Structure 1
Amino acid sequence: MHTGTPVTVLGLGLMGGALAGAFLRAGHPTTVWNRTTAKADDLVARGATLAGSPAAAIAAAPLVVVCVSDYGAVADVLDGPLDGRVVVNLTSGTPSRARALAEEVARRGGGYLDGGIMAVPEAVGTAEAVLAYSGPQPLYDAHESTLGSLGTGLHLGDDPGLSATHEMATLVLMWGMLNGFLNAAAILGTAGVSASAYLPIAQTAIGTVAGWLPGYARQADDGIYPADDGTIDTHLAAMTHVVEECESLGVNVELPRLVKALAERAATAGHRASGYVALVEQFRKP
């Protein structure tokens, strides 16, 4: 039985369909729209209402969740008045575009929350799915319970661009871990060691680094870089060995060279005896 707050979902790709399904399971009357209407068939069979146009879908509910391919598509579907509606945009984009869209929604009479989904579609609707939102706190508070149907919600602040900024930072973090693992797999592959065989050591190393993060975060915030686990010079010696080994093995050496170049710049800037976190100053530069 649908007894919750009515919700509209615009966009029914893998993630949009998962969002609509989670609202349905939580008992929210759910209106959906998608350019390809066949993508709504399963949701309609489960109780969703298919709108004939984005405008009709927007008119059907006070909370409008948008999850489409890009901000150009967002502009296409958010056509017309938004009087009294709260738009929750879960489309990936940049902070500047999120702020501009918030202004446009306000000009047309609506409220705006930007959001990022830190989960795969299969996890949406469970506590494992984390969704980060930014925008006016009162708007988030008013709809926190409904949005909780999608997963664990985090409100990052009133600036609508904060969600996208966090998403950019998290993507860089994930790519850094994944590229490091793949670079390691390429090195080990030359010795006939499979990536699967390396996995226990890799997971232990990632867990060890995760344990360092609270202390590293404080150092980055404070601008003080004690050499608790080795100096930049010590790391540079190891980086030189990795670069030389990659060159001798014939595997790609671009990532190790980049890491070494950043450490060399930190050393030149007076941080030879500092800890590894001193590299944050290099990442802060243009």
Structure 2
Amino acid sequence: MNAGLPPLQPPALQAGDRVRLVAASSALGDLERLQAGLAVLASWGLELDDDPSRLPARRWGYLAGQDAERAGDLRPSGDPEGSPALLACVRGGWGSARLLERPLEAAGGWLLGFSDVTSLLWHRLATGQGGAIHGPLLTTLAAEPAWSRERLRALLFGEPLADLEGESWVGGQAEGPLLAANLTVATHLLGTPHLPDLDGAILILEDVGEAPYRLERMLTHWRLCGALQRLGGIGFGSFEGCDDPQDADGDRPRFSLEQVLRERTADLGIPVLAGLPVGHGHVNAALPLGVRARLDGDRGRLSVIAAGPGSVRGRAASPRR
């Protein structure tokens, strides 16, 4: 991704556009949460060109099928009607990075997901493709609050996006291409050709179930290879289940989650926000990747400047977490 030239975004969706399911990571359990997410898409006028019942039976160990099967979800070539307008990832877990070992056919349309799907989203950007959205999975979409679901709909349909609010840790302002990622997954892309250009980027990180010392180890790796020093600004979303439950134990000294995140970013000379409604928490606000964004460390706001064709910068702040 060229930091000065945002990738071309796909056309905004319209009622009647088709959706394809992508199970690129862990195996799917029951269909109930998936069906609830599909009902949300149907309420927006989108049409499913896929059979959800094929997915629970498609297993290879803990993965949602063999690598070739899962990669096939991303390249539904041979479809006489062309590529679907939206590739919607079913769930996270693990497995999508394995698909990058083989050439992936560039698919048009939007790609939606987060967590393990970070590998696929960042690969898109690294190869100059647009349409990557860090946002709810189909198995989490229905549980999102109404404003978050509406934000995703607005993004897909080319409408304005509201600013997101966070807590200012380091002041200042930065403007650059927007990136968002699961920290663990993104860390394992460092040193690979699937890493987008970090120069001047606004990077939003989130994670789940990682102890503070492991987060500190990953962020130290980013510092040692010079990755954090290339950023224009950094924001932290939710770090669900990442505080050490024994923090209050006085038997030995420990660092809290907040201490780790603050200390590893305080000296970078860039604005830092925390508490953004992004990630594995109770809300996962959708973010279009690769587009211009502004991170305001003085006012505690993240603004998308241009999300796609016909869209403009949002005006009103979305609710706080």
* TM-score interval, normalised by the smaller of the two chains: 0.3 to 0.5
Bigger helix fraction: 1
TM-score, normalising length: structure 2: 0.36
Larger Rg: 1
Q: Which has the higher contact order (CA 8 A, sep 6+)?
A: 2
Instruction: Determine which structure has the larger strand proportion and give its number.
Output: 2
